Structure 1
Amino acid sequence: MAGPAGRMMAAGGGPGDRSMDFKGSFRRLLRQLAPEKVTLWVMILAVVASVALSVVGPLILGRATDLVFAGVVGRDMPEGVSKEQALEALRAKGDDGLADMLAGADFTPGQGIDFDAVGGVLLLVLAVYVAAGLLMLVSTRMSIRVINRTVYRMREDVQAKLERLPLSYFDRAKRGEVLSRATNDIDNIGQTMQQTMGQLINSALTIVGVLVMMFWVSPLLALVALVTVPLSVVVATRVGKRSQPHFVQQWKATGRLNAHVEEMYTGHTLVKVFGRQEESAAEFREQNEDLYEAGFRAQFNSGVMQPLMFFVSNLNYVLVAVVGGLRVASGSLSIGDVQAFIQYSRQFSMPLTQVASMANLVQSGVASAERVFELLDADEQPESPALERPAELRGAVSLEKVAFRYDPERPLIEDLSLKVEPGQTVAIVGPTGAGKTTLVNLLMRFYEVTGGRILLDGVDVARMSREELRSSIGMVLQDTWLFGGTIAENIAYGADAGREVTRKEIEEAARAAHADRFIRTLPDGYDTVIDDEGTGVSAGEKQLITIARAFLSDPVILVLDEATSSVDTRTEVLIQKAMARLAHGRTSFVIAHRLSTIRDADVILVMENGSLVEQGTHDELLTSGGAYARLYQAQFAQAVAEVD
């Protein structure tokens, strides 16, 4: 049948084409931290204590400077006079400016530097900074724990979401694009949070703490230092708005490039067979160029912020130094206070610069977060509680006026009715796009019917839980799927979850599927390890492994969608004979074009354009001379001659 992907990719994009909602995505990303509230509070308290100690440090250190300055001044003054007398003597000499400046110093004439007091202050500063460092270590550890747990939960949410998404989502989305969101984007979120979250909290608290201390030391100098803050805000806002769209484009381009690489790697053999290497390489270069351009613009625009913030920071430093010097000269402030204030001005500017320099990381992380949230917000399959279940699973299937369409404007199946008795083998044939595979997808509830209903043993499948319905159906597709592991593990995958499967059961299923012989020829037999591409076994052998897997599940209904297309004619005949033995008590739907499959069926359904045009046995349909007979003449006459 014509796959839905071709019908649903007209826009070319699939998920992920919405515009960036930075604020909304940022707030939602913060809400992901909610389950870690206790650890977050411990982290924040540690950061608060660390910042408090850090901002007190310069004030204490300023006291040491004052002690040294007082000692130097006092040493050169005559001993035995008071401070006030010494200052009066200076004014009497005409040194009013020097007297005003020394008025702010706490010196004793005739006494030099009190090294014991200076040493005590320095030891106190050392203790303060060591304590601040240890507390910052605690906060960093807590931050790492919070972030890793949050990213862990996001990965689990994405995995659970992928299990709940309908088949139609994967029809629209490229596999590499989905993988990019589940891996690259989540990794980028984790790295962004690791590099920014603790630092942002520390910077914000440092700004508040330093601001308090600056007003404590000198309200006038604090106001001078705040003059450049509006300029910093303008710079950060303008640059952020300019660079954010480029980060969105960068991660979209990453997803497209990953999708292309995944497709080309999966089909690299066909790419070489059809000589499309240059075309593939050209498309890769184009998408790689798009990614380069988007990444360059994003990084350049956001990178401009740091030098601009350094410029603003230096303006702040110059203003504080000039005004602070004038205050010292007037005696309004001590040299230690000005030294402390200059340190505070640097401490105040530094977190502003750090926040600005982290803007590109935050924007990149939020761009990735929005892509992950788009995946998490995708429409899910509605819940399917078990409202009703068959009293006994026998395999009776009935379709009553079933209608279905992928596109609301283009009907595919209309008014299809069919009744299949338990144990019957039903072959479904018809040209490509007739609706054969769609019919099976409706039976499995990968899609929901748009009209009519499907019954299993008298119960509408829409009233059964999907899990219960699918557990009673075994399915083998034309496209084989194996996972990295041993052949025995791949066959055992068909058993019910939680049930231990014995080696004897695995080997019996393999013999039933005629896979036992080739498996035993492999170096390690059933313990031979294969990867997810099935390297080391042929396409037909992979098909036999998947058929053995379906036999092991022992379902009530067996669905084989072109399942024997990759095996030779003789092996297919053997498989059909094995299926005939295993079909007792089991309803089988076989979608195939090969003669051996169709001739053995109890009933053959002929579909054209979504409608059932004929049904009957092989001989009956040939005698009627209708659509099946025409199909037989066109496709199967030569095959019959070869088999017979």
Structure 2
Amino acid sequence: MSSMHGSGGGGPTPQGQRARVMRGDVAGQRARNAEAPRVPDLFPRIVALFAPHRLALSATVVLVLVAAALSVIPPLLTQRAFDEGLFPPGGTPSLPVLAALVGLMMAIYVTSALLGVWQTWLTSTVGNKVMGALRVRLFTHLQSMELNFFTKTKTGVIQSRLQNDVGGVASVLTNTVSSVLGNTVTVLAAFVAMLLLNWQLTIVALVLMPVLVIAQRRVGQVRARIAAKTQESLSDMTAITQESLSVSGILLSKSFTQQPNEIARYEKENGTQIRLQVSQTMSGQWFFVMVSIFLSSIPAIVYLVAGYLMGNGTADITPGTIVAFTTVQARLLFPLMGLLRVVLDLQTSSALFARIFEYLDFVPAIADKPDALTVPVGDAAAGSVQFDRVTFAYPDAAAGSPPTLDDVSFRIEPGQFAAFVGPSGAGKTTVSYLIPRFYEATGGSVRFSGKDVRDLVQESLVSSIGIVSQETYLFHATIAENLRYAKPEATDAELESAARAANIHATIASFPARYDTVVGERGYRLSGGEKQRIAIARVLLKDPPVLILDEATSALDSLSEQVVQQALDTASHGRTTIAIAHRLSTVVNADVIFVVDGGHIVEHGTHAELLARGGVYASLYARQITASPQVLPVD
């Protein structure tokens, strides 16, 4: 049986997880990233993100159309200003005509600017709301994923999807609607204005546009590939940061003097990130240089062609027409560049959207049935736990390896204290994972309060179970906030009552800030025994009918173990209690002890019965007595 599934009983160990991170997860994540752009129906799914904001988008469309319509008028007024105001047929400039035309142009400019401010507010609001909703949707979906997903995926990679990928499409979501609509309509309006001024010059100005579109498409494909690699590199950098700069990571690197290696690892990935960012920037730079040169050269070409047409007498072109035409063409430069840039950004961001939708497309392996039931309360079976010929193998177990649990059957009655003991890696912790359905049994059935756990609403199931594990997790928050994680509405009196029952109130009262003491990341400001007793107090606030103790004292010294054990005895009173134990001294008073070895229950009975039998339990107990003379048998 693989030791990666057993810290005394079958669960993935932190050391094993880190080893897998360093070996296989990077390669696996790279493979997943390479497949990300293949998410089907990507464009319709991106468009669907904007569906809840139809009203704001409709208002944006109206504003864009009005602004575009207004943008056609100034060039036509410019033509009139030259031909009727500055150089009228009589030869004398007409100030009244000029004043009227200039006043009208100024009014149009002011109106367009105000409409632009309103349009920017609308698009920024919509874009950020869409981005925020996407981030929450992704976070919510990840919350529904089964435990196995998180044991095989680096936390930094998950964080990167939420932060870097969603953040990477922020500008696209914020600017796309206004840029695409505004620039498209402006380009079309400019095209119409140019046609109204002179169709021959319009042909000259637009003859090379198809070449630009083809070039833009090629550049966009290159940028999309680079963007995927860039986000992959960001994922790795986030993972390295999360691993190395956490309290546990810092302690590990300092303990083994591995800071230079961690710095080198980060520096290497940072170098990759720099190279990819430069490549992404430069991949479109030459394209935009070419576009800029082409559009900037058009006025000179227009002058040349206009002179040719005027010289041949084939076109009626006035000085006002030339000035107005070049003004329109100059105004065409920025919207056309903006439109090409947005299209290029959309192509680039497709890789980011694909990575986000890839996670959203993951289907949780464990989900409630449509007709799932809540955990029954008050009947004779409430609080009972039963395994009926349960077989289980971890999803990432090597092919051909034996299952972690093989044909395991037992029943724990309501209010009973049951213990699971056995060699490391025997499958004990796996039992504690299957009861709350953190993993799904491969074969057989797990019953809770008389019902198959697959027929129960998982939230209701987990709400009925309290878990105290070997590795206590506390948030970087106050003691009170950590306790209220189990019961947000708990009063101060309830906190104190739970803390007293867990033998931790006196310790908390000795702190200057008492229950407002900040425990630090993962509770590192507290001792192991203090963290464990706060975890017990948190479970007592939850007040579940079933309590699972997974190696709850195995990492503590003898003195801390005694204090914590007293708290555990109080917590288990009146509840069905399941203890996964390495130290047999903590379970000698159990109502029934199940001995797990090689994925099977090889013995069960009371402490005295198992000692008298002289089997596996007696051997384990004898070894612990020899190794720890202070542990005395309890009659």
Calculate the TM-score normalised by the size of structure 2.
0.90
Please show how residues 89-238 of structure 1 align to structure 2 within 5 Å: 107-108=89-90, 111-238=91-218
Change (3 A) 1:7 1:452: farther
1:55: how far off?
2.2
Partner of 2:465: 473
1:303 and 2:318 matched:
no
For structure 1, which segment, 352-361 or 455-464, has the greater mean C-alpha deviation from structure 2 after superposition? 352-361
For structure 1, which segment, 611-620 or 54-63, has the greater mean C-alpha deviation from structure 2 after superposition? 611-620
**Match for 1:601: what amino acid?**
A
1:396 and 2:418 matched:
no
Match of 1:543 among 532, 537, 552: 532
1:379 and 2:363 matched:
yes
Q: Secondary structure at the match of 1:304?
A: helix
Q: Secondary structure at the match of 1:350?
A: helix
Cα deviations by residue, 1:549-589 (Å, 9 ceiling, x for unpaired): 01221111101112223433233223333433443431111
Distance 1:116 1:457 in 2: 93
Match of 1:521 among 494, 507, 510: 510
Partner of 1:43: 60
Q: Is the 8 A contact 1:242 1:301 kept in 2?
A: yes
Distance 2:629 2:448 in 1: 35
Change (3 A) 1:308 1:576: same
Please show how residues 126-525 of structure 1 align to structure 2 within 5 Å: 126-266=106-246, 267-329=249-311, 330=313, 332-358=316-342, 361-380=345-364, 381-384=366-369, 385-387=371-373, 389-390=375-376, 392=378, 394-407=382-395, 409=399, 410=401, 411-495=403-487, 500-525=489-514
Distance 2:514 2:183 in 1: 61
Match of 1:32 among 46, 49, 63: 49
1:216: how far off?
1.7
**Match for 1:343: what amino acid?**
T
1:364: how far off?
4.5
Distance 2:264 2:163 in 1: 26
Partner of 1:530: 519
**Match for 2:376: what amino acid?**
P
Change (3 A) 1:214 1:311: same
Q: Is the 8 A contact 1:402 1:413 kept in 2?
A: yes
Match of 1:13 among 28, 37, 49: 28
Q: Secondary structure at the match of 1:432?
A: coil
Cα deviations by residue, 1:263-316 (Å, 9 ceiling, x for unpaired): 111211111101221222222122222222222222211222211211221343
How many residue pairs end up in the alignment? 604
Cα deviations by residue, 1:372-398 (Å, 9 ceiling, x for unpaired): 211211122323443364352632111
1:556 and 2:545 matched:
yes
Partner of 1:574: 563
1:429: how far off?
1.8
Distance 2:611 2:256 in 1: 39
Q: Secondary structure at the match of 2:230?
A: helix
Change (3 A) 1:391 1:138: closer
Cα deviations by residue, 1:33-92 (Å, 9 ceiling, x for unpaired): 111011001011101111111122111112111134524xxxxxxxxxxxxxxxxxxxxx
Distance 2:527 2:184 in 1: 61
Unaligned runs of 5+ in 1: 72-106
1:10: how far off?
4.6
**Match for 1:198: what amino acid?**
S
Q: Secondary structure at the match of 2:486?
A: coil
Partner of 1:92: none
Q: Is the 8 A contact 2:223 2:348 kept in 1?
A: no
1:135: how far off?
1.2
Distance 1:621 1:642 in 2: 17
Distance 2:214 2:158 in 1: 37
Q: What is the percent sequence identity of the aligned residues?
A: 33
Q: Is the 8 A contact 1:426 1:589 kept in 2?
A: yes
Q: Is the 8 A contact 1:576 1:600 kept in 2?
A: no
Distance 2:518 2:217 in 1: 56
Distance 2:604 2:180 in 1: 71
Q: Is the 8 A contact 1:595 1:640 kept in 2?
A: no
Partner of 1:56: 73
Cα deviations by residue, 1:444-503 (Å, 9 ceiling, x for unpaired): 1111112111112322121111111111100112222222332122122223x6xx3222
Change (3 A) 1:258 1:581: closer
Q: Secondary structure at the match of 1:20?
A: helix
Q: Secondary structure at the match of 2:411?
A: strand
Bigger Cα Rg = 1
Q: Is the 8 A contact 1:543 1:566 kept in 2?
A: no
Distance 1:366 1:204 in 2: 21
1:609: how far off?
2.3
**Match for 2:157: what amino acid?**
E
Change (3 A) 1:127 1:578: closer
Partner of 2:3: none
Q: Is the 8 A contact 1:228 1:316 kept in 2?
A: no
Change (3 A) 1:432 1:65: farther
Distance 1:44 1:346 in 2: 24
Q: Is the 8 A contact 1:232 1:312 kept in 2?
A: no
1:596: how far off?
3.1
Q: Is the 8 A contact 1:476 1:547 kept in 2?
A: yes
**Match for 1:351: what amino acid?**
P
Distance 1:310 1:3 in 2: 60
Q: Is the 8 A contact 1:206 1:351 kept in 2?
A: yes
Q: Is the 8 A contact 1:388 1:459 kept in 2?
A: no
Q: Is the 8 A contact 1:543 1:567 kept in 2?
A: no
Distance 2:343 2:59 in 1: 26
Q: Is the 8 A contact 1:392 1:457 kept in 2?
A: no
Partner of 2:599: 610
Q: Is the 8 A contact 2:221 2:348 kept in 1?
A: no
Q: Secondary structure at the match of 2:87?
A: helix
Change (3 A) 1:466 1:191: same
Change (3 A) 1:426 1:315: same
Cα deviations by residue, 1:399-439 (Å, 9 ceiling, x for unpaired): 10011112484422111001112222222222332222211
